[in-house]
Structure 1
Amino acid sequence: MEFFLQIPLLIRNFIIYSLEMANIIVVFPNKRIVETVLCFSIFLFCYLPTAFCSGFRQKLYLPVPGPESYAFDSAGRGPYASLADGRVLRYLGPAVGFVEYGYTKADRPRRFCDGTNRTDISQICGRPTGLGFYYKTGELFLGDADLGLVVIPSGGGPGIQLASSAEGVRFGFPDGLEVDQATGIVYFTDASSRYNLSQINNIVSNRDATGRLLKYDPRTKNVTVLLRGLSGAAGVAISEDGSYLLVTQFVIGQVSKYWLKGPLANTAEVLVNMTGMPDKIKRNTKGEYWIAVTVTSKNSTQLQGQRIDGDGNSLETLTFSPDFDSSLITEVQEYKGALYLASLYVGYVGVYR
């Protein structure tokens, strides 16, 4: 970020140097006038709110819409993006773009599924909604909108279904996912036990409260329900010390803290009541959290990234619309100085620096 703040000064010095080398400066005997004009021009270009330097926005185009979530592996490769047609693609840089890494089910009919953007056939093609690597093994865990909890082995390929229900209740709409790197335990959400992804409008309009926060232990292969009665359970993130989880509920605009350790273990409390619909939540390297929030009013929709700390204090709010041209934002993930923006309804990975 500091580099981008230095760009105006670098541009100024380069132009002054170029003019002097070309002897053009003799036309303007007062060098201070030239510098003043240049600095004013750079100000207009770099510091007005709508200008380029207020936040560099880049689009990494995908062959299929719907990147709802991203992941980066232990070597820093990525982003890995979940797509509407059931695949996970990996970005290999601007010269190559995205290539297929894996898919959610082995019997997925490729000719029928590749390129589709239909949520009503996710039971055939799969639809990954939440991604998370376990760095120790290289496995990529997926929350899939129809299949439930899935894992793609290290190196990629077809996914293996790990669980499709908990306590005898089938998952309706698995959404967010987080892997505890210390234990390998996978935490994930089920947005609704009643409705699926294609019925997301029903979840909101009926204020459905059948969502759950779940835990998968790879050693026992058991799924445990940690919280139930959630209204659109969407994102989940674990704290840096592994003592608690933060979980979002998009129907009621709420972030809750669920304690994993300490005197409050196995209890939950409301951390933040938000304006808008919070979706995925991701921790950054500083131990803070980015929440993707869609704020709608009668006349407009704002797509935001809101950064909070573990106590629920608001640290920063960024608005990405209209540059990020969607009606919904599902994830804001910070990685190496950039924010990666996700949505069900765009055909690219949004990058904000």
Structure 2
Amino acid sequence: MTSFLSVISLLLILSLSSAVFSNATPFQKIPVPGKRSGPEAFAFDSTGKGFYTGVSGGKILKYLPQKGYVDFGYITESSKSQSCDGALGTANIGKCGRPAGIAFNDKTGELYVADAPLGLHVISRGGGLAKKIADNIDGKPFLFLDGLDVDPTTGVVYFTSFSSKFSPGDVLKAVASKDATGKLFKYDPSKKVVTVLMEGLSGSAGCAVSSDGSFVLVSQFTKSNIKRYWIKGPKAGSSEDFTNSVSNPDNIKRIGSSGNFWVASVVNTATGPTNPSAVKVNSDGKVLHTISVKDKFGDTLVSEVNEFKGQLYVGTLFGPFAGILKLKK
């Protein structure tokens, strides 16, 4: 299965490399250095310069417009090795790691990472080797972590597992079988405890906390559904459907304090993903705007769209570059 995914990864990279780019909207592509791939998610620190992203082989890279990419963090000691430098897709993830969701605690400067096979980690403000927080709960391994966000009001970390049955190398099996063993977790740094908030999720790929910390959204990629889990208020501890209007949602990111969110979306078909898009929704789940990025990325799986300072940062699971799309005012 892993070799099959490696072939898919190669085909996606070739597809992205040959994609036709439109001049209608200002667009910049930032190729990932070396032989690594898949800038899956983004984070921005308090300096407001550049971005951070996790790539295949277990590295967290920092991108500065004047310098390009520099190494910031590593999931394991092996992540710095030459063998991990050549790791594409899910190759060597048991040794190298594969960062998925990432987000800063803006108050402490720590970067939290949901590494797909190796668990929840944190990297100190200065970077370097990540510290593992947890790779299991009640003795049961996470297997396949995916999305992550930090509550901007409390510093509590929320993260998801795409599946509790399948590993990242078997993601196609998880989707094809409509696996519904995904979960939403909570990690409270003050108590150093991980708890399960939701179970029975179908491909829980991304999560995002509202700017006021009242709820967290969780995407279900396989069901084309987003759920809302209430953190505060009269509904605290309960969940409900948020929207069914976004096709195969992946990562979700709040847009500052606007109350709106960006969702990475594709149309998943028997032959693979198509029509990658950035979908903006409000706090009621209403779709406000949709931007197709097919002309920029081809038919591939976009994993995240994240707005920062008037630009939309677009990531992919297997692609060779991160995309930056200037938003129209």
Q: Hey, what's the Cα distance between the residues in 1 that align with 2:22 and 2:222?
A: 34
CA distance in 1, matches of 2:98, 2:21: 37
1:324 correspondence with 2:277: no
Q: How far did 1:144 drift?
A: 0.2
Whether 2:197 is the aligned partner of 1:197: answer no
Q: Which has the higher contact order (CA 8 A, sep 6+)?
A: 2
Q: Match for 1:62 among 23, 32, 56?
A: 32
**Residue type of the alignment partner of 2:110:** E
CA separation of 1:122 and 1:297: change in aligned 2, threshold 3 A: closer
1:91 Cα offset (Å): 0.7
Q: Which residue of 1 aligns with 2:7?
A: none
Q: TM-score, normalised by structure 2?
A: 0.88
Cα 1:326–1:138 change in 2 (3 A) is: farther
The aligned residue for residue 16 of structure 1 is: none
CA distance in 1: counterparts of 2:282 and 2:89, whole angstroms: 37
Query: 1:118, 1:321 → 2: CA distance?
Result: 21
Corresponding position: 1:334 with 2:287: no
Which of 123, 140, 147 aligns to 2:94? It is 123
Letter in 2 for 1:65: S
1:275, 1:295 within 8 Å by CA — same for their partners in 2?
no
The one-letter amino acid of 1:288's match is N
* Aligned-partner Cα distance in 1 for 2:113–2:255: 20
Read off the aligned partner of 1:175 and give its amino acid letter. D
Alignment-derived partner of residue 62 in structure 2: 90
Bigger fraction of residues in helix: 1
Residue type matched to 2:194 in 1?
A: V
Query: Aligned AA for 2:198?
Result: L
Describe how 1:230-249 pairs up with structure 2 within 5 A: 230-249=201-220
Q: CA deviation at 1:331?
A: 0.2
Bigger radius of gyration: 1
TM-score, with structure 1 as normaliser: 0.82
Provide the aligned length of Structure 1 versus Structure 2. Answer: 303
Decide whether the 8 Å contact of 2:281 with 2:288 is kept in 1: yes
1:93-125 superposed Cα distances (whole Å, 9 cap, x missing partner): 1x4211111111235461221232141421100
Show CA shifts across 1:248-304 (max 9, x none): 000101000100111110000001113521000000122210000011457881000
1:86/1:103 contact within 8 Å kept = yes
Conserved? CA contact 2:21–2:296, under 8 Å: no
Unaligned runs of 5+ in 2: 1-19
User: In structure 2, how many angstroms separate the alpha carbons of the residues matched to 1:344 and 1:313?
Assistant: 26
Show the 5 A alignment for 1:8-47: none
Cα RMSD for the two superposed structures: 1.7
SS of match in other structure, 1:202: helix
Q: Distance in 1 between matches of 2:79 and 2:56?
A: 13
Instruction: Map residues 84-163 of structure 1 onto 2, 5 A cutoff.
Output: 84-93=56-65, 95-108=66-79, 110-163=81-134
Q: 1:298 to 1:172 in 2, by over 3 A?
A: closer
Find the residue that maps to 1:161 and give its secondary structure: strand
Secondary structure of 1:119's aligned partner: coil
Aligned-pair identity in percent equals 42
The residue that corresponds to 1:283 in the other structure is 254
Q: 2:142 aligns with which of 162, 171, 193?
A: 171
- Once the 2 structures are TM-superposed, how far is the Cα of residue 71 of structure 1 from its aligned partner? 0.5
Contact 1:129 1:143 in 2 (8 A): yes
Unpaired runs of at least 5, structure 1: 1-49
